[in-house]
Amino acid sequence: MKHPPILRLLATLLLALTAATATAYDFEVDGIYYNKNSDGTSVSVTYKSSNYNSYSGSVTIPSQVIYNGTTYSVTSIGYYAFYGCTGLTSVTIPNSVTSIGNSAFNHCWDLTSVTIPNSVTSIGESAFSSCSGLTSVNIPNSVTSIGDYAFRFCSALTSVTIPNSVTSIGRWAFNDTPFYDNKPDGIVYLGKVLYTYKGTMPENTTIDIKEGTVSISPHAFYGCSGLTTVTIPNSVTEIGVLAFRDCTGLTSVAIPNSVTEIGGLAFDGCTGLIKSAYPDHLNNPFHYGKGIAYPSGGLIEEDRTIYNANKTSLYFVPIDATSLTIPNTVTSIGNYALYKCDNLTSVNYNAKNCSVSQGWLSEAKSITKFEIGSSVVTIPDYLCSDLNNLTSVTIPNTVSSIGYKAFYGCSGLTSVTIPNSVTAIGSYAFSNLTSVTYNAKNCSVSQGWLSDSKSISSFVIGSGVETIPDYLCSGLSNLTSVSIPNTVTSIGKSAFNGCTGLSSAVIGSSVSSIGEYAFYNCRALSSINIPNSVSTIGSNAF
């Protein structure tokens, strides 16, 4: 049925109102802001807006929160959640939280107390960096990884308890703190991790890494030209990125069979290594330098590409490779796996569930063809980020999630089809798009997933779509028309907010609810048919 008088009033109000402030949260309860996770049952703590600085004083995060009659478990502190909250003095994290995200408390200068519960397993990159009020931190024995720069520049931090559960500590995680500065020169062990070599290493140094050490951190011996011999015990499972880079005096090293993870460029620039256990073509691409005694059971070579023994980690690709096939067994790809692979033009990616490092393809800018295989379930963060020569990509119907900045910066990629299998899409997933075909049946999209695709003029919603998620087309100012099919039952919050060029919108006959701000600031929309099926219209919907 048509409601022209109402719409005339709405249009008048619309012109009188200014655009809503961009928010980064799905909802707020008791002064804490949350984003829904893709599982639909849990949430992450987040910030209020892009201005950050949303919190002050003492904050206690609940283990559960109720919103619109639904109970959600609070399972993580999200990226940048408390970033720059200079007035925050203390925070209590509940036992439901399992991860603290990157930069979660970065630059919280007045933070003097934080309680990390025994449920947390990972502390992200720069999570507490520059928290100059922190004096002590007790890391519980549930934590297994601490990210790069996690506590760097905490200028008052004198006491840190690191349990044996921690098997990975990122580069400079504790540098520029009294805790680190007070350590004597030489090898610094933190729990079972060889963190770094502190000070200037004397010439002709021989090092026996102590038994029980489980990992060697990134950059641990970077530039230690005085190191000539190192013995790595059979307890070590991981050697970090650039761990021995530019150790020019190193003449031999034996990697034990226990090692399953070796970071990119771990032995790059070790010009003193002269023996080789692998063919010559692997020496340079592997960037170990010559003379590594590879473990007989720790690494394998296939098609001149190096993996760990069970092919779950891909480490190195030869620099003269023109094509690469990534098998479905791979779950991680090293930071510098494709270092200097500037001849690579084609990638066949079959990894079912994998994580890749940001910039893993930064040395492979010639790629024009990136095929995503039918076995792929998740498209990880940064998968094709900044592949300027990529002009087309097909996302198979097996994919359930598309990660953060997965195709960001692909300036030649202008159109994409989202299949009906997709249930979650991360922030900044795409940029430069002009055309989208959206077939996702029931999906949640992060606010800003298309924030750098402002030129989109065609957004086709497929006939199988059942829900229009929050923020689906938010801010697409060049979009002039949209047709919502009869299969759709709900239109989410701010779904078309800020589509200032939208002059035609057809709402299907099955829609029962229209969320708040759904068509807010659609200044060109002068009339619309609202079917009888609609029973709920949120505040400021039009």
- What is the full per-residue pLDDT of the chain (542 aa) written as tens digits? 333 433 333 333 333 333 333 456 889 999 999 988 878 899 999 988 766 778 999 999 999 999 999 999 999 999 899 999 999 999 999 999 999 999 999 999 999 989 899 999 999 999 999 999 999 999 999 999 999 999 999 999 999 999 999 999 999 999 999 999 999 999 999 999 999 999 999 999 999 999 999 999 999 999 999 999 999 999 999 888 889 988 999 887 888 878 877 777 788 778 777 433 333 333 333 434 334 444 445 567 788 788 877 898 887 787 788 999 999 999 988 777 787 788 999 999 999 999 888 788 888 889 999 999 999 999 999 999 999 999 999 999 999 999 989 999 999 999 999 999 999 998 899 999 999 999 999 999 988 899 778 899 999 999 999 999 999 999 999 999 999 999 999 999 999 999 999 999 999 999 999 999 999 999 999 889 999 999 999 999 99
Provide the Cα torsion 279, 282, 284, 290; round to 10°: -50
Please, which residues have CB within 8 angstroms of residue 138's CB and are 6 or more apart in sequence?
A: 116, 161
Supply the pTM of this predicted model.
Answer: 0.69
- Give the three-state DSSP class for 115: strand
Task: Identify the residue whose tokens are 């995503």.
Answer: 372
SS3 282: helix
In 451-530, where does DSSP find H-type helix? none
Query: Which residues, including other chains, have CB under 8 Å from residue 197's CB and lie 6 or more apart?
Result: 186, 187, 188, 220, 221, 224
Q: Which two tokens stand for residue 252?
A: 């031999």
